[in-house]
Amino acid sequence: MNQHTRQLHELGQSLWLDQISRPLLRSGTLQRYINEFSITGLTSNPTIFDHAFAGDAYDDSIRLLHGTGLDGEALFFELALEDLTEAAWLFRPTFDATAGRDGWVSLEVSPLLADHAAQTVQAATRLHERAGLPNLFVKIPGTTQGVIAVEEAIFAGVPVNVTLLFSPEHYLAAAEAYLRALERRLTAGLNLRVASVASLFVSRWDAAVHEDIAPALHNRLGIAMAMRAYRAHRDLLASDRWQRLAKAGAQPQRLLWASTGSKDPAAPDTLYVQALAAPDTIDTLPEKTLLAYADHGRIGAVLPADGGYADAVLEEFRRGGVDDTALAERLQREGVDGFATSWHAMLSRIREKCLTQTVPHST
């Protein structure tokens, strides 16, 4: 087992891979990452699948599924669930050994539903039922309508990965939805073991302000925001409100670091992974970042539960003209729009493959 990734695992941080493709599964590469790099989960999104479909690895499956009458989103979800079912089985030993705390895979609802709570709940419920996997998270964006959907989905028993969170306020809105859903389940006499993670995106902060700030502030804002979110998370877990739910059998909604690949060529390629080492959290890494960390990553200081110097850093940015509240909302909307663009591109790619391939007739 790799010593660098093992150190994070021993610290209590779960490492998940932010990548999926059929070659990754069928070549044994994902199993190798599990064995060698302590990978204990996996996330996906529309952009990842769009890139995966660009090659020819899915052409035969697309042809066969199209021949059964499937197309568009229905065909996509069939392909995605085939892959995620394979991945889920690879992580099932971890899921069982940790009593459902770890060992998860994630599949996103259509990003076109981000501003429609009721439709999102319906889509999430259908995906959960269709997959039939105990360790599949349905990803729902933490938009205003998305947070409403998160509460209803959790109340209905659907495990949820709340995605596209950027600020401590975004995180707390997702956490509040989780708490409300569990309290409603407790009142209704339902089992409280419905898992959730809250995914905070980090590096996009720094990419957004890079051209507008002094070089001394480069690549510091995302980490400061993560530190503030971690403080909010630790405070919530210490609250009487959470402790009542925990005593009734609830498990914490885990905090997940997303967008942890360095986007600045001048920054270390393991910058965010090293800075965000913290127990009881999850770091989902792009494949390139995972390989870099396995090669030369090092744990520095463990993330402080009290937020450390984050407030002072944020004040520097505010003095420099950065409105972090407005920027958080912009980044979330850009995230939704970016996934929607990938969604349309992915469906267009599938349609093109359906049109250029004919289904063989039996003789």
Convert the pLDDT of each residue in 139-182 to its tens digit.
999 999 999 999 999 999 999 999 999 999 999 999 999 999 99
Which amino acid, one-letter code, is at 107?
A: L
Q: Pick 6 or 362 by higher pLDDT.
A: 6
Query: What CATH number does the domain located at 3-356 have?
Result: 3.20.20.70
Exposure letters 137-152 (e unless 16+ CB within 10 A, then b)? bbbbbbbebbbbbbbb
CB 196 within 8 A of CB 160: yes
Positive or negative torsion for Cα 192, 198, 226, 170? negative
Q: Who contacts 317 (Cβ-Cβ below 8 Å, separation ≥6)?
A: 209, 213, 217, 221, 224, 324
Task: Name the burial class of residue 222, with classes exposed (0-12), middle (13-18) and buried (19+) by CB atoms within 10 angstroms of its CB.
Answer: buried
Instruction: In whole angstroms, give the CA distance from residue 183 to residue 335.
Output: 30
Helix axis angle for 117-131 and 144-155, nearest 10°, is 40
pLDDT for residue 210 is more than 80: yes
Q: Please spell the DSSP secondary structure of 268-299, one letter per residue.
A: -TTHHHHHT--TTEEEEE-HHHHHHHHHH---
Among residues 9, 184, 174, the alpha carbon closest in space to that of 102 is found at: 9
CB 114 within 8 A of CB 162: no
- CA distance readout (Å), 100 to 68, 131, 195: 35, 17, 8
Detail the DSSP E strand segments found in the chain.
14-18, 39-43, 105-108, 136-141, 160-165, 196-201, 254-258, 281-285
Site of tokens 């909604």:
253
Instruction: In whole angstroms, give the CA distance from residue 190 to residue 183.
Output: 10
pLDDT for residue 360 is more than 80: no
| Total Cβ atoms within 10 A of residue 245 | 19
CB 166 within 8 A of CB 328: yes
Task: Name the burial class of residue 90, with classes exposed (0-12), middle (13-18) and buried (19+) by CB atoms within 10 angstroms of its CB.
Answer: middle
Q: Taking the mean position of all CA atoms in its chain, how far away is CA 175? A: 15
- CA distance readout (Å), 62 to 44, 45, 68, 256, 284: 19, 19, 10, 33, 28
Q: Which of 139, 263, 288, 353 is catalytic?
A: 139
| pLDDT more than 70, % of the chain | 98
pLDDT for residue 362 is more than 90: no
Query: Any catalytic annotation for residue 353?
Result: no
pLDDT for residue 359 is more than 80: no
pLDDT for residue 68 is more than 50: yes
pTM over 0.75: yes
Give the model's pLDDT for residue 358: 52
Instruction: In whole angstroms, give the CA distance from residue 174 to residue 286.
Output: 24
Helix (H, G, I), strand (E, B) or coil at 245: helix
Instruction: Work out the average pLDDT over 217-237.
Output: 98
Give the model's pLDDT for residue 357: 59
Site of tokens 């970016």:
338
